[in-house]
Amino acid sequence: MSNSPFAEWMPAVQGLVEAALARHLPGADCIPSRLHEAMRYATLGGGKRVRPLLVFAAGELTGAAPEKLVIVGCAVELIHAYSLVHDDLPCMDDDVLRRGRPTCHIEYDEPTALLVGDSLQTLAFELLAGAELGEPARQLEMLALLAHASGSRGMAGGQAIDLASVGKPLEQPELELMHALKTGALIRAAVLLGALAGQPLTTEQRSQLDRFAKRAGLLFQVVDDILDCTASTATLGKTAGKDEAADKPTYVALLGLEAARTYAEELRADALAALAVFGEKAGRLTQLADFICHRQF
Amino acid sequence: MSNSPFAEWMPAVQGLVEAALARHLPGADCIPSRLHEAMRYATLGGGKRVRPLLVFAAGELTGAAPEKLVIVGCAVELIHAYSLVHDDLPCMDDDVLRRGRPTCHIEYDEPTALLVGDSLQTLAFELLAGAELGEPARQLEMLALLAHASGSRGMAGGQAIDLASVGKPLEQPELELMHALKTGALIRAAVLLGALAGQPLTTEQRSQLDRFAKRAGLLFQVVDDILDCTASTATLGKTAGKDEAADKPTYVALLGLEAARTYAEELRADALAALAVFGEKAGRLTQLADFICHRQF
């Protein structure tokens, strides 16, 4: 898989992850069946799987085995899926469309969607704790990293700042923190976790990989903000133009569209520069950063 | 602490756990401060801490160190606290009173309470993954056990069955499963985790401890159902009579009050019988089972 063209590698990884998620999510025949059916609805059959792709691409830096990467990729994707289900709830973004389908609380109901998010989060940690990923001490480090990245000082904290910011200008430190946390923290975790699944990195390599991971997280968010105001709802599979309508602080609102595009290119260049230390092994991460920067959906 | 009377031991453990929770929860001075303040509000300064008490009492069976038990006790209590915050939300039980104070979404707001629950869950796993509890492999076992007990095949699954059951009679297997999962799974996990923090158990000991843990979980639920219809709101610190008003399937509804009391005594006797294999070391668990059975709040 490691030498295939990007256009073949991407669907191959997505397919692996989809199959593994389908295997690790409890079956709809398992009690409580409605909850399990809703968990599968919210997780399977959609999504770009950007975070698992990052896990696999970063894993190539350290020669990690695909059977370990797929577990790590599933764990990160389950955290992402939980956050989408909860973010879409009426008391949060109140959204009805996700991945081109009704959101979980529309298709099922609100209490079920709440429990779906709760249970997907738990399953992420159950999966990561239960798998045999090599050294137990390394695995604990991975669990702690994923938990920190998704909790109140990570993704959920970014969501809290985002909520508080609607309709009022944020202070600059809070705005940057919000962007770094809400999407950035989990993207960064995906990169670091993928690398942790293989051979140890040197301190310098780890530092450069972290630089890449932070830039990639910001890049993803900036491009997301650009697409929110330039792409159609049909292309995105979620409601377009929503950030502006909700008066949310986005990079486009902050910088304007053209400057946001320039900023995205700068972030991409800086992310790629950080990969120099890895030489050829960083080929896949380079391609993925290009994809994240130039995607149309 | 191990030889002190129960009436001294209980507040001592509660104090240790309260102090550790206060230390491990992010400070309200840490961004996002409102979220962190709400997490502290929802967790600190209330609650019987039954699950940490079970962790400590079970730890005496295997000579576990208090500094390990307090971490495990905090992790279990954080899962419990998250479940209360989400259960109280308008789309679930819609309750306004908890531990004698306004529920989290009343004191703060609904989106904050959603993120509080999400973040408390994450913190439980972060804490358990980050601590040094001895053997990393054992620690992974503990993480997997806690995750399984709280997810869709544990506590959250029980909540889903409970929701689905309001106003309509459940099939017997689903009713028993609901009770075993909703409260039982986390109580059972608390007992097993406390023991896992010390020296290994024999297969027979582990089997008997699991029997105790399952009975204790059921016992706690049966007594909870009895108190819901016999105690006052002021005594409970949460809305009394709520289960009956909501037409929820409870042991009192199923068996009647007197038979429920008899059932509680039977469960207590069976739980204590399971402890025989541990001899004197089970003194604290015995006292705690008595307390759970005869508590008035």
pLDDT of residue B157: 96
pLDDT at residue A172 greater than cutoff 70: no
pLDDT of residue A1: 62
pLDDT of residue B101: 95
Per CB-CB distance under 8 Å, the chain A contacts of B156 are 35, 115, 118-119, 122
- Identify which has the larger pLDDT, B100 or A141: A141
Mean pLDDT over A243-265 rounds to 83
Range 141-200 of B in CB contact (< 8 A) with A:
143-144, 147-148, 150-153, 156-157, 159-161, 163-164, 174, 177
pLDDT at residue A295 greater than cutoff 90: no
Cis peptide before B32 (omega within 30 of 0): yes
pLDDT at residue A2 greater than cutoff 70: no
DSSP string, A19-66: HHHHHHSPPTTSSSHHHHHHHHHHHSS----HHHHHHHHHHTTTT--H
**Residue A288 Cα to chain centre, angstroms:** 13
pLDDT of residue B245: 66
User: What is d(CA B177, CA A180) in angstroms, rounded to the nearest whole number?
Assistant: 42
**ipTM reported for the complex, 2 dp:** 0.94
Interface test with A, best of B74, B76, B115, B132 (most A CBs within 10 A): B115
Mean pLDDT over A259-281 rounds to 95
User: What is d(CA A46, CA B180) in angstroms, rounded to the nearest whole number?
Assistant: 34
pLDDT digits (tens, 9 = 90+) for A213-241: 999 999 998 998 899 888 777 666 777 66
DSSP-derived 3-state class of residue B102: strand
pLDDT of residue B285: 97
pLDDT of residue A11: 96
Please classify residue A68 by burial: count the beta carbons closer than 10 Å to its beta carbon, then call 0-12 exposed, 13-18 middle and 19+ buried.
buried
Q: Which residue of B has its CA nearest to A162?
A: B32
User: What is d(CA B185, CA B179) in angstroms, rounded to the nearest whole number?
Assistant: 9
pLDDT of residue A291: 93
DSSP annotation of B183 reads I
DSSP string, chain A: -TTS-HHHHHHHHHHHHHHHHHHHSPPTTSSSHHHHHHHHHHHSS----HHHHHHHHHHTTTT--HHHHHHHHHHHHHHHHHHHHHHTSTTTT---EETTEE-HHHHS-HHHHHHHHHHHHHHHHHHHHHS--S-HHHHHHHHHHHHHHHSTTTHHHHHHHHHHHTTSPPPHHHHHHHHIIIIIHHHHHHHHHHHHTSSPPPHHHHHHHHHHHHHHHHHHHHHHHHHHHHS-HHHHSS-TTHHHHTT---HHHHH-HHHHHHHHHHHHHHHHHHGGGGGGGGHHHHHHHHHHHH---
Lowest mean pLDDT among A256-265, A267-276, B173-182: B173-182
pLDDT of residue A101: 95
Mean pLDDT over A36-55 rounds to 96
User: What is the rounded average pLDDT for all residues in chain A?
Assistant: 92
Per CB-CB distance under 8 Å, the chain A contacts of B110 are 91
Token pair listed for A210: 């972290």
What is the percent of chain A with per-residue pLDDT over 70, rounded to a whole number? 94
Do the chains contact at B122 and A152, CB–CB below 8 Å? yes
DSSP-derived 3-state class of residue B100: coil
Check if the beta carbon of residue A260 is closer than 8 Å to that of residue A251: yes
pLDDT at residue A244 greater than cutoff 70: no
pLDDT of residue B158: 94
Range 28-87 of A in CB contact (< 8 A) with B:
30-32, 34-36, 39, 82, 86
pLDDT of residue B255: 84
- Identify which has the larger pLDDT, A190 or A47: A190
**CA separation (Å) from A92 to A96, A160, B122?**
12, 10, 19
C-alpha dihedral sign at A206, A208, A211, A212: negative
Mean pLDDT over A97-120 rounds to 96
Pick A6-294's CATH classification: 3.20.20.140, 3.40.50.2000, 1.10.3720.10, 1.10.600.10: 1.10.600.10
Low-confidence ranges of chain B (pLDDT < 50): none
Domain boundaries, chain B: 6-294
Terminal Cα-to-Cα distance of chain B (whole angstroms): 25
Crossing angle of helices A283-294/A257-274, nearest 10°? 180
Check if the beta carbon of residue A139 is closer than 8 Å to that of residue B136: yes
Residue type, A167: G
Do the chains contact at B112 and A163, CB–CB below 8 Å? yes
Rg (CA), chain A: 18
pLDDT digits (tens, 9 = 90+) for B41-62: 999 988 899 999 999 999 999 9
Option in A112, A147, A153 nearest B26 (CB): A153
pLDDT of residue B173: 66
Q: Looking up tokens 């973004």, which residue turns up?
A: A93
**Would you say how long chain B is, in residues?**
297
- The pLDDT-based confidence of A84 (bands split at 50, 70, 90) is very high
Establish if A233 touches chain B: CB-CB under 8 angstroms. no
Q: What is the 3-state secondary structure (H, E, C) of A67-85?
A: HHHHHHHHHHHHHHHHHHH
User: What is d(CA B8, CA A82) in angstroms, rounded to the nearest whole number?
Assistant: 42
Token pair listed for A184: 């950035």
DSSP annotation of B256 reads -
